[in-house]
Amino acid sequence: MRIPIREVTPSTPRAEVYGWVHEIRDLGGLAFLLVRDRTGIIQVTVPKKGASEEVLTTVKEVSRESLVRVKGVVKAMAKAPGGREIVPDLIEVVGAAASPLPLDVAEKVPADLDTRLDARFLDARRPRVSAVFQIRSAILLAVQNYLSAEGFLQVTTPKVVAAATEGGTELFPIAYFEKEAFLNQSPQLYKQMLMGAGFERVFEIGPIFRAEEHNTTKHLNEATSIDVEASFMDHAGVMHLLEDIIATSYQTVAATCADQVANLGLTDFDVPKTPFPRLPYTEAIEIAARRTGGDIKYGDDIGTAAERAIGEEMREHYFITEWPTAIKPYYAMPCEDDPAVCQAFDLMHPRMELSSGSRRVHIYDVLLKQMRAKGLSAESFSFYLTPFRYGMPPHAGWGLGAERLVMTMCDLSNIREAVLFPRDRHRLVP
Ligand code: AMO
């Protein structure tokens, strides 16, 4: 624990700390409290001879996970966590914890993920859990700093919308007065419209909502997307930006979150090397077919099994490029020399997809044609289509799943571990 030394006389540095009672040990002549805050653990040592009556009573009666205020003398103690202990003259219970605890923060009693998420406030007191959210915060800050320095404007687009962005099946309908409305699946249409507004470079870090039917370890119903859109850049340009942001995020975490990385037991925390390999879709399919022995063929989506097989072969971050136009969204720009292939990409971690993006169609007639080809009605998208008729610049962008970035960086087995209060098919509280 980081302890602010408040008053110093030459022989007796004193400190006052607030923390939760992690463990209580009574060794006859000595009693110990391990007191924990977000920076770590400090041992509070109470010699039974010489301690005040009040301190002794508090140590005897305080329950685990109560919040206490401790004032006393700081002493070097090689065997204590952090090499120091506090010998208190005051221990005050600021907030008593009821017993029994819904969850053992000290992790002596194992708990499954559901129990942990039900008692998330207690679960998050665990250093290993809070480390994930400190790393998550460092990543998001690194991304914001990077993009701001590159001239990107941070924007916030509506989450209550009238039209589907990424296809109609994963939409959450909501009651919005007398109108039909939905929770937005992606800021896609809005970030493109902002290219029409002349903003040139925008980014948004915000929630996306997907009514995924299935409970998987890598899907959430409410996720956080890091979205980028840039005018006068093509797909190659935004791919460079994306790989640079991934590397920068790892570098920042390595430089500023050493304790958290250690708490998570990440012994080989390597910053991925850029540039990432570019793997054409056709080759990705060949690898998947060879390694899985399955009947995956050109034109198929790359599902979980294929994704895993290709990842085992690549063993590092990589891009899948040159996708068939037919399986990418209408807003992806077809290649000039072969319109059956489009200028879209997915960024992959060996375990899963992290991001997808593309150069966009910026020509009104082509966009209209592609929307119709996908069975979408141009009328319900007129708010989106109109800017394409008034000087839309060429542009490109991507969406990066923040939880998947945290999950793969921290080597978490379930995406729910990367969200404080996850939303899935069965979980709406807390
Ligand atoms: P896409 O649908 O591929 O693309 O989403 C982009 C990235 O967002 C993350 N993601 C999710 N994470 C957790 N749970 C989910 N249900 C979920 N859905 C998506 C993934 C994914 O790679 N508009 C395009 C992006 C663009 O072209 O700019 C889009 O939304 O990490």
Which residue's CA is the nearest one to ligand 1's atom 6?
399
Selection from 161, 212, 169 nearest residue 188 by Cα: 161
| Rounded distance from Cα 135 to ligand 1 centre (Å) | 21
| Rounded distance from Cα 226 to ligand 1 centre (Å) | 9
Question: What pLDDT does 223 receive?
Answer: 98
Q: How far apart are CA 375 and CA 381, in angstroms?
A: 12
pTM of the model: 0.96
| Rounded distance from Cα 284 to ligand 1 centre (Å) | 20
| Rounded distance from Cα 218 to ligand 1 centre (Å) | 11
| Rounded distance from Cα 242 to ligand 1 centre (Å) | 14
Question: What pLDDT does 5 receive?
Answer: 67
Ligand 1 pocket, residue 330 CB under 6 Å:
no
| Rounded distance from Cα 72 to ligand 1 centre (Å) | 52
Ligand 1 pocket, residue 399 CB under 6 Å:
yes
Structural domains in the chain, CATH included, are: 5-95 (2.40.50.140), 122-277+316-418 (3.30.930.10)
pLDDT digits (tens, 9 = 90+) for 31-65: 999 999 999 999 999 999 999 999 999 999 999 99
| Rounded distance from Cα 404 to ligand 1 centre (Å) | 10
Average pLDDT for runs of 10 along the chain of length 430: 70 92 95 95 95 96 98 95 95 98 94 98 97 98 98 98 79 94 96 98 98 93 98 98 98 97 96 98 98 94 97 98 97 98 98 98 97 89 96 98 98 98 96
Asked whether the beta carbons of 168 and 336 are under 8 A apart, the reply is: no
Residue 27 burial (10 A CB sphere; 0-12, 13-18, 19+): exposed
Which residue of 143, 165, 186 sits with most ligand 1 atoms within 8 Å of its CB, as the best mutation to test the pocket? 186
Ligand 1 pocket, residue 65 CB under 6 Å:
no
Ligand 1 pocket, residue 398 CB under 6 Å:
yes
Which residue of 356, 404, 406 sits with most ligand 1 atoms within 8 Å of its CB, as the best mutation to test the pocket? 356
Question: What pLDDT does 299 receive?
Answer: 98
